[in-house]
Structure 1
Amino acid sequence: MQKSGGLGYLLVGASAAAWWLSKDENRSKFDGWMTKAKQKFNGETTPSDDAFPIHKAGNPHPEDIADNKMVNEGAQYAVNYYNKKEQ
């Protein structure tokens, strides 16, 4: 009588998963899947399009000091990086 191959199948599956997760692209896909599954399990909903800050991109409100400061610092970083590369 032969033993069931349950442990062997488990090892083969774990090896295949480890091989598949060895690529960065696959790990990011898996992370996204797990995040979505966790949100569904916890009953969280996906935010509407209005909640995404991308709608403000490139057009910060003049009175939004924090956003204007962030945009300004981002521009300084790029200029400093370019200047260091040129020198």
Structure 2
Amino acid sequence: MYSSKKTMKQKNGGLGYLLLGAGAAAWWLSKDENRTKFDDWMTQAKQKLSGETSPGDAFPVYKGGNPHPEDIDDNKMVSEGSQFAVDYYNKKENH
């Protein structure tokens, strides 16, 4: 017959995993370098959740795809194109 009473093990099944996780976290945080990492992660998470950005978060492309007409070296590089793609295509065609 089915019984609606739960055993103690069934009631506290998640408690063991919770205690195991808390113990593992305490062990990991016992090192200074791990506490520093954790503090950095928490600071970054708070900044992301609040919408704050730091100067290093921006994409570091200042003139991508649109070289200045007087920047000779950059114009030369853009006009040459990707030599890797050209070499790859030539090797595929010859074999």
Aligned length: 49
Cross-structure match for 1:41: 49
SS of the aligned residue for 1:13 comes to helix
How far is 1:6 from its partner?
A: 0.5
How far is 1:31 from its partner?
A: 0.2
How far is 1:48 from its partner?
A: 4.6
The match for 1:27 among 27, 35, 54 is 35
Matched, 1:10 2:23: no
Mapped to 2, the partners of 1:31 and 1:14 lie a distance apart of 17
The 1:48–1:12 alpha-carbon spacing in structure 2 relative to 1, beyond 3 Å, is closer
2:36 aligned partner, one-letter code: S
Mapped to 2, the partners of 1:13 and 1:36 lie a distance apart of 23
Structure 1 runs, 4 residues or longer, greater than 6 Å off: none
Aligned identity (percent) is: 73
Unaligned runs of 5+ in 2: 1-6, 58-95
Structure with max Cα Rg: 2
Mapped to 1, the partners of 2:29 and 2:53 lie a distance apart of 27
How far is 1:32 from its partner?
A: 0.2
Query: Which protein is richer in helix relative to its size?
Result: 1
Mapped to 2, the partners of 1:42 and 1:18 lie a distance apart of 27
The 1:43–1:19 alpha-carbon spacing in structure 2 relative to 1, beyond 3 Å, is same
Cross-structure match for 1:63: none
TM-score normalised per structure 2 = 0.47
